[in-house]
Chains A and B, each alone.
Chain A
Amino acid sequence: MSLDIQQEVCAGRLQMRLAGELDIYAAAALRECLHQVVAQHHEIEILLADVSEVDGAGLQILVAAKNEALRQGTRLSLSDHSVAVVNALQLCRLDRFFGDPIVLTKEMPE
């Protein structure tokens, strides 16, 4: 599997670090994992610094996870966006949907 998922709980908040290719090959496993953690935790931060590639399947899993989190009242945020993630979000104009601050070379608008 080319996507590596690491989880650690830090100050009552689950940090989930994704590394590698967030794509169709990883989608099923990622969905399973997110499905579980969204139900179990109140606050989840997904760290994306090491995501080298994102495709539509990966993106749609993130959207579904965000939806699910909103439904369950879980705080789910994306942070440490890699360039690949930022590009994909901007391409689909989904940066606003997630509403997370994106730190890159300059401040991106909310």
Chain B
Amino acid sequence: MMDLDPQMAAALQTFFEESRDLLQEMESALLFMEDQGADLERINAVFRAAHTIKGSAGLFGLEEVVRFTHRLENLLDQIRSGTKMLTPANITLLLSCGDHIGDYLDRLVSAAPLDQHFLSEDLRLLAELQAALGAREQKLPISKENNLQLYEHTEASSSSVTEIPADEKVSTSANWHISLRFGIDTFRDGMDPLSFLRYLQQIGDITGLVTLTDALPALPQMDAESCYLGFEIGFSSVADKATILDVFDFVKESSVVHLLPAHSQIGAYLKMIQQLPEADQHLGEILVAVGSLTSEELQRALALQENTDQTGQHQPLGEILVDQKMVQEPVVQGALEKQQQQRESQSAERQLLRVRASDLDYLVDLVGELVIASAANRLFAGQDALEARLESATQVARLVEEIRDGALRLRMIDVSELFQRFPRVVRDTARTLGKDIRLEMHGEGTELDKSMAEKITDPLMHLVRNAMDHGIEPAEQRLQVGKPAQGCIALHARHDSGGIVIEVSDDGAGLNREKIQRKALEKGLITADQVLSDQEIYALIFAPGFSTADKISDISGRGVGMDVVRQNIESVRGRIEIHSVSGRGSIMRIHLPLTLSIIDGFLVRLAQDTYVIPSESVEECLEYPKVQGTVGYMELRDQPLPLLDLNAVFNKRATDESRRNVVVVRHGLERIGMVVSGILGSQQTVIKPLGKLFEQVPGIASATILGNGDVAPILDIPTLIQRHYAISAKSAHSFIH
């Protein structure tokens, strides 16, 4: 993997992405069929996905993937042809295989080693695939240790392989695959196919060749002067591609000529086979049995060896060339070609463009600058009081806003992409729990920011698992209360007033108010005389370390989670609320902003400077009370509201204290009144990251640039609230003592 040139690395990156997409498609198709029964179209889709991954992996010399996927493909092929059924067991196996390939790709990306765990999973799945295939291929009795050892051995050799072709390209020869179908008039045009082959021998080595006579009619029907010949040729040469193609210059009009770089790993295998002391045949079979070589690859290795041994005496490996027909299969190259076509048509279908995320970020960033510049522009135009200039500035501002919206939309993904992994999660979790649960998804077409989608995946996953574990009752219990035995989890997405709402709902028992209250009392989160609304009680489950589960299961109930869920959601400036009806189920509703880079800001003044409070945390604005009771508190609708003087926090010396305001902000359960010098109104603000120097400043999350060019810090409300509570708790403490 290392030392790839940038072009190769980029191609590899694309391969990883494509493969993940394909694995996802494969999984969706499998899950659909598990639910709705097998259909040929989806089986084909699964097959194509596996096949494409195999082909591409071959191009990159990812032998492990090729080898594994090949086995997978064998089973799929049998299912496709109807020899084997798509049983639930097979679906589970196929799903695990998909995971395994994904795992391998992840390891490649992160350069993690293939550890024992991976290898044993690999062997397990290969064995299961073998079993599912029915022991059709001959298996050798090899002990497990042996097996592993061999496995690692080939591992080593295949990693060295990546370097071999590169070296060879420079110094010696490259391997090619040539596919020839001569035109029917070749003889009449005065040319002989054999002379082309002879010429090839002069500029390189024909390492393998199969004469195709499929097009040859029966003797009575054939025209003796027409050419029906075709050849598949493995060719190794120092000549470059153009030189090789030039050989066929005379026939290129009338014939079909394909020249492709060959699947070059086999040479390395062959070398290894030859170098090891054991009998070639034995080793070859073992390699096939272990799965390091597919039988096709062995066949091709044999063809190569046959050639090196052309002097003819000794060909032990050649003996197991089971059936010559097998060599005739237009092996990987043909498949690759087809796959290339397939990919082209696929991408045409999708009409999508892959764009580097960093490029997009850069664009969005620039657009952010543009928004600021345009705001300044309009401000100055207004000052000049020139009608025409103001008009054009307004025009520009409008267009900039459109560009901004367009640029932000580029980062948007359909929520179905976020949802797509859930069918699998629900299926697997339901199995582990022994519950029958179906998943419903609504709101495809709703779009959200990609980085937001990434950050929200884990919390959603947790909520879904939680709902399945705690929400949905066991089947008996459901039947008793007159519900259908099958539980239902629903994921729902929709746009709502400039944001997105994602709901996880279940038709389970609902949250147990009393139980939560009891538990919260136990943990000292609330006091016995506190009067709490349902909402407030439900919100308690987001407190750190809170779990009402009586027994701890694998799925949930450890009490680490719900608080993390809330944190994660709030880190993208979202919030979560719970609605629950006892016996009917609950809904976890997540509100998210549309994007991470632009927020609705609430502008306030501290002394002479402008600060921004994210609008979503602002609850209301009040006038600073002239008469105060307890210092640091004010009364708000008969409730005490802690006050935080922001001027004091940021060491501002306010000059005019007469018209102060209080902005009530909320974070989670906590509410606080922030005392500011003045309120300037709300405005869309583009978030700019802070420089290194200011990253550590507590209470400031980021900054924005205002229309007049001033920098305005954006306040970090959660931190400010937490700090305030921590400080007041400390002072209360010291007061008592």
Q: Which residues of chain B from 209 to 227 have any CB-CB distance to chain A below 8 Å in the complex?
A: 209-211, 213, 216-220, 222, 224-225, 227
Q: Kindly provide the distance from the CB of A73 to the nearest chain B CB, expressed in whole angstroms.
A: 14
Q: Kindly provide the distance from the CB of B528 to the nearest chain A CB, expressed in whole angstroms.
A: 91
Is B312 an interface position by the 8 A CB rule?
Answer: yes
> Which listed residue (B194, B210, B318) contacts A91, Cβ 8 A?
B194
Instruction: Indicate if the CB atoms of B219 and A34 lie closer than 8 Å.
Output: yes
Q: Which residues of chain A from 52 to 74 have any CB-CB distance to chain B below 8 Å in the complex?
A: 54-57, 59-61, 63-65, 67-68, 71
Q: How far is the CA of A64 from the CA of B222 in the complex (A)?
A: 8
> Which listed residue (B217, B225, B227) contacts A28, Cβ 8 A?
B225
At the interface, is chain B mostly helix, strand, loop or mixed? loop
Residue among A31, A65, A92 having the largest count of chain B Cβ atoms under 10 Å: A92
Residue among B217, B224, B228 having the largest count of chain A Cβ atoms under 10 Å: B224
Instruction: Indicate if the CB atoms of B312 and A68 lie closer than 8 Å.
Output: no
Q: Kindly provide the distance from the CB of B536 to the nearest chain A CB, expressed in whole angstroms.
A: 82
Q: How far is the CA of A67 from the CA of B228 in the complex (A)?
A: 14
Q: Which residues of chain B from 151 to 200 have any CB-CB distance to chain A below 8 Å in the complex?
A: 182, 186-187, 192-195, 197-198
Assuming A57-B187, A109-B318, is B216 touching A64 (CB within 8 A)?
Answer: yes
Instruction: Indicate if the CB atoms of B194 and A63 lie closer than 8 Å.
Output: no
Q: Which residues of chain B from 19 to 58 have any CB-CB distance to chain A below 8 Å in the complex?
A: none
Closest to A92 in B: B211
Query: How extensive is the interface on chain A, given as a class?
Result: 20 to 34
Q: Kindly provide the distance from the CB of A89 to the nearest chain B CB, expressed in whole angstroms.
A: 10
Instruction: Indicate if the CB atoms of A71 and B224 lie closer than 8 Å.
Output: no
Instruction: Indicate if the CB atoms of A67 and B197 lie closer than 8 Å.
Output: no
Assuming A109-B312, A109-B318, is B192 touching A57 (CB within 8 A)?
Answer: yes
Q: Which residues of chain B are near A97, meaning CB under 8 Å? A: 211, 324
Closest to A24 in B: B187
Instruction: Indicate if the CB atoms of A27 and B224 lie closer than 8 Å.
Output: yes
Q: Which residues of chain B are near A63, meaning CB under 8 Å? A: 211, 213, 216
At the interface, is chain A mostly helix, strand, loop or mixed? helix
Q: Kindly provide the distance from the CB of B388 to the nearest chain A CB, expressed in whole angstroms.
A: 82
> Which listed residue (B209, B218, B225) contacts A27, Cβ 8 A?
B225
* Chain A 9-34 near chain B by CB (<8 Å), digits 1 or 0: 00000000000000110011011001
Instruction: Indicate if the CB atoms of A91 and B219 lie closer than 8 Å.
Output: no
Instruction: Indicate if the CB atoms of A67 and B219 lie closer than 8 Å.
Output: yes
Q: How far is the CA of A94 from the CA of B193 in the complex (A)?
A: 14
Instruction: Indicate if the CB atoms of B198 and A31 lie closer than 8 Å.
Output: no
Q: How far is the CA of A56 from the CA of B181 in the complex (A)?
A: 13
Q: How far is the CA of A97 from the CA of B211 in the complex (A)?
A: 10
* Chain A 78-102 near chain B by CB (<8 Å), digits 1 or 0: 0000000000100111101100000
Instruction: Indicate if the CB atoms of A38 and B219 lie closer than 8 Å.
Output: yes
Q: Which residues of chain B are near A38, meaning CB under 8 Å? A: 219
> Which listed residue (B194, B315, B318, B324) contacts A55, Cβ 8 A?
B194
Instruction: Indicate if the CB atoms of B197 and A93 lie closer than 8 Å.
Output: no
Q: Which residues of chain B are near A65, meaning CB under 8 Å? A: 219
Is B229 an interface position by the 8 A CB rule?
Answer: yes
Instruction: Indicate if the CB atoms of A35 and B211 lie closer than 8 Å.
Output: no
Taking A27-B187, A55-B192, A59-B194 as known contacts, 16 extra A-B pairs with beta carbons closer than 8 A to each other, sorted by chain A number, are A30-B224, A38-B219, A56-B182, A56-B187, A56-B227, A59-B229, A60-B216, A63-B211, A64-B216, A67-B216, A67-B219, A68-B219, A94-B211, A97-B324, A106-B312, A107-B312
Interface residues of B (CB under 8 A from A): 182, 186-187, 192-195, 197-198, 201, 209-211, 213, 216-220, 222, 224-225, 227-229, 231, 312, 315, 318, 324
- 11 contacting pairs across A/B (C-beta < 8 A): A27-B187, A27-B225, A54-B194, A56-B192, A67-B213, A71-B218, A88-B194, A91-B209, A93-B210, A108-B312, A109-B318
Interface residues of A (CB under 8 A from B): 23-24, 27-28, 30-31, 34-35, 38, 54-57, 59-61, 63-65, 67-68, 71, 88, 91-94, 96-97, 106-109
